[in-house]
Structure 1
Amino acid sequence: MKTIYYNGAVYTGALPLTEAFIEKNGRFVFAGTSRQALEHQQDGDRLVDLAGQFVCSGFNDSHMHLLELGYTLQMAPLAQHTGRLADLLDCLRDFLKQHPRQNGAWLMGRGWNEDFFSDVHRMPDRHDLDQVSTEVPICITRACGHCLVVNSRALDLLGISAQTPQPAGGRIGLADGEPDGRFFDNAMEPVYAAIPVPDIESLKEMIRLACRELNARGITSSQTDDYCVFRAIPWQQVDQAYQELKAAGQLTVRVNEQCNFATLSDLQGFIAAGGQTGKGDALFRTGPVKIIGDGALGARTALLSQPYADDPSTCGLPVYDRKTLEEMIGPAHAHGLQTATHAIGDACLDWVLDALEKALTAHPRADHRHGIVHCQITRPDQLERIRRLNLHVYAQSIFLDYDIHIVEARAGRRLAASSYHWKTLMDHGVTVSNGSDCPVEQPDVMAGIQCAVTRTTLRDHLGPYLPDQCFSVQEALDSFTIAGAKASFEEICKGRIAPGYLADFVILGENPFAAAPQELHAIPIRATYLAGQPVYQADAL
């Protein structure tokens, strides 16, 4: 039996739009006109009248943190209360009252951004969190994920004092010579290590929560960095959680795991255990080795080639020194693994490009698909090197919604003028996929598409920032479908509505090709299908 969908506006991955497609056994077997599709009808087939609705391939978020999204959904929702520091503290108090901590459990929150505070103009510190509780340990993570703040109770448990050495690749915040509760990048690791880790059933519940959220956004594929969420949990246990959900029929997002290891020895252990890119099946498979090169622009920890324009005391923080970065990228490449390296600052990007070029020179490989994650602050010479090295770029257009407010202030006008140049890269043949880096941002694909098309902020329409870098609607859709599939070596089986491809698709409430650019974010998701089966439905068809 097959299902015939007709009378729609169907984007197959090419224009013009067509009207219909047919699904059988979880794959597309036809795409074309309604008349042609109905000619395939046989006894027992199911007919679905799309009533003019727009359909495209299921969305593919090519860089995010699925497990961490599920974890965050169980925390205090600080992203919804970051307009004032006072509101953030009230949110924590309310959450603690509604969810009392027991057996030493910490109060956790994520999503704050001090740039949005209207009552103060600074990051929170331990004294602020002490107003919520001095008995329950509290940890709140900035939206970017590169800074956190704890209260005095947590500092006591951690044994952090003025004498604690500053870690490599990170920083412990100090005020008047004493810890202020702020931790940046690698300094965050001991904090997370002190927080009780969940068991495998809790991991599975986090994944289920995240999958439901992603399906509601039209997402059917996730390229996700999960091994770093709980460093004390072996990567094999994270894989086990996914495999058990898959076996139970509860994994409703196709997962390509971007394998993040904190140390060279951990990476070597993964390689020795047989880790390889592409291992697995259509629902769960191993992707690239994920390496974090630097911090974030918002927290001023992205590594720039010059001091920050609004804080000349710093150029940012490298997570690894250059030698270690080479020692991680080189062996991964030599063993046939794909790599995806986080680089936000241009100085970090120099290090990454040098390491990749050295690895490729030592062990040439044509179709390596090594990637740069974020690729935000860039110079023209670096864009040319990315093209020449045949790299992939994992972009996040949704970052423009916030970064437009800060990019010139942080990086300076000259460097900002050649940054976020994803359209330039595309025009020179570089494949640029799109994502959210969720939970840094919400996994809102339609908002990401709008930012890609308009290069303005979502609410106050600030911009456009570098309008020559605007994507067309088709390019934006492709960046969340076709380009994402190519990033994971899956372009022959997903990302299009075409015969033989996996029948993952999303039905939208409006045709984005006909919508006003500033209203793309408002287009609702009507239904999401994985292998021809509904995993989210806002309205019954």
Structure 2
Amino acid sequence: MDLILINGNVVTMDTNNKKAEAFAVKAGKFVKVGTNKDVLELKDDNTEVIDLKGKTVVPGFNEAHMHLLNSGYNMHKIDLNGAKSIKEVIERSKKYISMKKPQPGEWILGFGWNQMLFEEKRNLTRNDLDQISTDNPICFIRVCVHSAATNSKAIEIAGITKDTPQPVGGKFYRDENGEPTGIFSETARYMIYDMIPDAGVNEIKEMIMDAAKVASGYGVTSVQTDDFEAMPGKDWRKVLKAYSELVEEGILPVRIYEQCLLPDMGRLKEFLDEGYKTGQGDEYFKIGPLKLLTDGSLGARTAYLSEPYADDPSTSGIYVFSQDELDELACAAHEGGLQLVFHAIGDGAMRQCFKAFEKAQNHKFKEDPRFGIIHLQITDEFLLEEFKRQNVVAYAEPICLNNDIHMAEDRVGKERAKVSYNYRTLFDSGVHVSISSDWPVDSVNPMKNIYVGVTRKDYDGYPEGGWNPEQRLTIEQALYGFTMGSAYASFEEELKGSVEDGKLADFVVLSEDILEIEPDKIQDIEVEMTFMGGKLVYSKA
């Protein structure tokens, strides 16, 4: 026996054996889960024994949707998260430039700004960013990743003028004279991104590892990640090569299920023609679904709503695809062997997704396609029922409420907000629900995510009693969504997601008993150790 852990409070997530005090690991899998006595009978001279001294163990957390490569990429940019004013953005940027000393013409990149936090309560403009530099092109990505702010140099390099037509599925904003303001949303972002030099395979590997180590430190052992367009170049072959080399080197501290962003028929056909299908790979890396973005974000008012925004009736957001375009991509991917998992934040976008899923099944019926919708923020009673009717996986992100609590009612009105973010309704109605963070948009720390889902409060404890508290998850539901629910989303519920005989030995040791602690203190729980395949990949000590 390779490893035995005893004297634990093991929360197994196995419905037939919910609690245990010990378990044994051999060849990377759980082989016995039960009492100290039963498990210690398997001990031999080569067994490492860890005394948990009453500590709580849970299965490794499985992030059902995030952007691992982009998170690592952002670690090499100016950090604009939490900036409280445009002045602070400018000051942080100037400090970065004074330290890094970029050459004239070199791109200056930043991530994380949010105009909702600014004293000025407005978007960044090219004029703001021109105060940072007029010699270097600048591109600062909003925290939601659906909009970018640029300076005049970047706009000049991209060749964009007042006469440039708007792209399909996106928008760049103009001032009263018709000149670009510097804000680019949805597909318009690529007018700028395509000008930024791309990275090589070794750089991509470094960025993946930077992010994977952070995730592992929070107890994440599996990630379902959208990486193909994480950075300039949009070269999915390069991304797959980077992962292949990391797996071969045996150094990845997380397991990967790649959500393949291939947003046009040309790229999708290339991918399918090379023989890729959902589920190909091994326990360390697998090809996942076709992932498409069907709309934008609520914060940028680009999420596609069925009715205009309450705080800006001039817009209902942006739909990235027409229904025919989305149907065509869905049918081609479904027939070609790819699962379908689509980003949709607005109720209008979700309606498009459900229609496309039905079209794909009518085109080629499959018994268990496990279609999914990521984010599912602005819903109504019809959509909540449609998840159940079509058996679509709900990729919920409770952590988004840390910000959206302060914005949702302004954006969509109190009545629509009441039937939005209805995660408890989905769980209780029997919908398959997974939980994720959308990192780097929100924190990759599962304890913060679970805290928000269970309390319906922001990190500061607002509002007292929780926002729409009838939608609070139980702690058990939140844990299930982060373990078995996410494993189900990737067809891996027989392989991972619980501390159970025969499953991969991915588990986490916590500083507190998550089932007994006061809900308001969940976000303070720390990860003490993370194991993947029975091997220690992170230790707080």
Which category describes the TM-score, using the shorter chain as reference length? over 0.9
AA at the equivalent of 2:152: S
Residues 84 and 117, structure 2, Cα contact 8 Å, conserved in 1: yes
Residues 27 and 501, structure 1, Cα contact 8 Å, conserved in 2: yes
The alpha carbon displacement at 1:346 in A equals 0.5
Residues 125 and 151, structure 2, Cα contact 8 Å, conserved in 1: yes
Query: CA separation in 2, counterparts of 1:331 and 1:423?
Result: 34
Query: CA separation in 1, counterparts of 2:103 and 2:37?
Result: 63
Paired residue secondary structure (2:139): strand
AA at the equivalent of 1:72: N
Partner of 1:22: 24
The alpha carbon displacement at 1:233 in A equals 4.0
The alpha carbon displacement at 1:481 in A equals 0.7
Residues 77 and 111, structure 2, Cα contact 8 Å, conserved in 1: yes
The alpha carbon displacement at 1:16 in A equals 4.5
Q: Superposed, which structure 2 residues align to 1:336-415 within 5 Å?
A: 336-415=337-416
Paired residue secondary structure (1:56): strand
Residues 511 and 526, structure 2, Cα contact 8 Å, conserved in 1: yes
- State the TM-score, normalizing by the size of structure 2: 0.97
Query: CA separation in 1, counterparts of 2:495 and 2:42?
Result: 23
AA at the equivalent of 1:207: I
Give unmatched runs, 5+ long, in structure 1: none
The alpha carbon displacement at 1:363 in A equals 1.9
Paired residue secondary structure (1:214): helix
Query: Percent identity between the aligned chains?
Result: 40
Paired residue secondary structure (1:182): strand
Give unmatched runs, 5+ long, in structure 2: none
1:525 corresponds, among 503, 527, 530, to 527
Query: CA separation in 2, counterparts of 1:28 and 1:366?
Result: 30
Partner of 2:51: 49
2:510 corresponds, among 489, 498, 508, to 508
Residues 193 and 230, structure 1, Cα contact 8 Å, conserved in 2: no
The alpha carbon displacement at 1:465 in A equals 2.1
Query: CA separation in 2, counterparts of 1:88 and 1:104?
Result: 20
AA at the equivalent of 1:192: Y
Partner of 2:276: 275
- State the TM-score, normalizing by the size of structure 1: 0.97
The alpha carbon displacement at 1:83 in A equals 1.8
Q: Superposed, which structure 2 residues align to 1:29-44 within 5 Å?
A: 29-44=31-46
Query: CA separation in 1, counterparts of 2:446 and 2:395?
Result: 14
Matching of residue 111 in structure 1 with residue 112 in structure 2? yes
Could you report, residue by residue, the CA deviation over 1:40-69 in whole angstroms, capped at 9, with x for unpaired residues? 222222211011111111111100011001
Query: CA separation in 1, counterparts of 2:316 and 2:57?
Result: 45
2:478 corresponds, among 473, 476, 479, to 476
Partner of 1:144: 144
Query: CA separation in 2, counterparts of 1:12 and 1:72?
Result: 35
Could you report, residue by residue, the CA deviation over 1:278-310 in whole angstroms, capped at 9, with x for unpaired residues? 000000110010011000001000000111000
Residues 105 and 196, structure 1, Cα contact 8 Å, conserved in 2: no
Query: CA separation in 2, counterparts of 1:404 and 1:310?
Result: 15
The alpha carbon displacement at 1:320 in A equals 1.1
Partner of 2:488: 486
Deviates more, 1:417-426 or 1:529-538: 417-426
Query: CA separation in 2, counterparts of 1:272 and 1:233?
Result: 18
Partner of 1:173: 173
Deviates more, 1:285-294 or 1:410-419: 410-419
Residues 105 and 135, structure 2, Cα contact 8 Å, conserved in 1: no
AA at the equivalent of 2:8: G
Query: CA separation in 2, counterparts of 1:60 and 1:304?
Result: 30
Residues 171 and 184, structure 2, Cα contact 8 Å, conserved in 1: yes
Paired residue secondary structure (2:331): helix
Query: CA separation in 2, counterparts of 1:25 and 1:102?
Result: 51
Residues 146 and 185, structure 1, Cα contact 8 Å, conserved in 2: yes
Residues 228 and 262, structure 1, Cα contact 8 Å, conserved in 2: no
Partner of 1:100: 101
Residues 126 and 182, structure 2, Cα contact 8 Å, conserved in 1: yes
Paired residue secondary structure (2:259): strand
Residues 23 and 29, structure 1, Cα contact 8 Å, conserved in 2: yes
Paired residue secondary structure (2:337): coil
AA at the equivalent of 2:129: L
Query: CA separation in 1, counterparts of 2:462 and 2:55?
Result: 28
Query: CA separation in 2, counterparts of 1:145 and 1:426?
Result: 28
AA at the equivalent of 1:388: R
Query: CA separation in 1, counterparts of 2:416 and 2:329?
Result: 28
Paired residue secondary structure (1:511): coil
AA at the equivalent of 1:44: N
Deviates more, 1:16-25 or 1:520-529: 16-25
Could you report, residue by residue, the CA deviation over 1:331-386 in whole angstroms, capped at 9, with x for unpaired residues? 21222321100111001111111111122123221210010011111111111111
Query: CA separation in 1, counterparts of 2:144 and 2:412?
Result: 17
The alpha carbon displacement at 1:103 in A equals 7.0
Residues 196 and 232, structure 2, Cα contact 8 Å, conserved in 1: no
AA at the equivalent of 1:2: D
Matching of residue 466 in structure 1 with residue 468 in structure 2? yes
Q: Superposed, which structure 2 residues align to 1:42-441 within 5 Å?
A: 42-79=44-81, 81-102=82-103, 104-118=105-119, 120-176=120-176, 177-230=178-231, 232-441=233-442
Query: CA separation in 2, counterparts of 1:169 and 1:440?
Result: 21
Deviates more, 1:94-103 or 1:187-196: 94-103
Paired residue secondary structure (1:443): coil
AA at the equivalent of 1:477: L
Could you report, residue by residue, the CA deviation over 1:74-124 in whole angstroms, capped at 9, with x for unpaired residues? 111111x41222212111111111112237431111111111112x11011
- CA RMSD across the alignment: 1.2
Query: CA separation in 1, counterparts of 2:133 and 2:374?
Result: 38
Paired residue secondary structure (1:267): helix
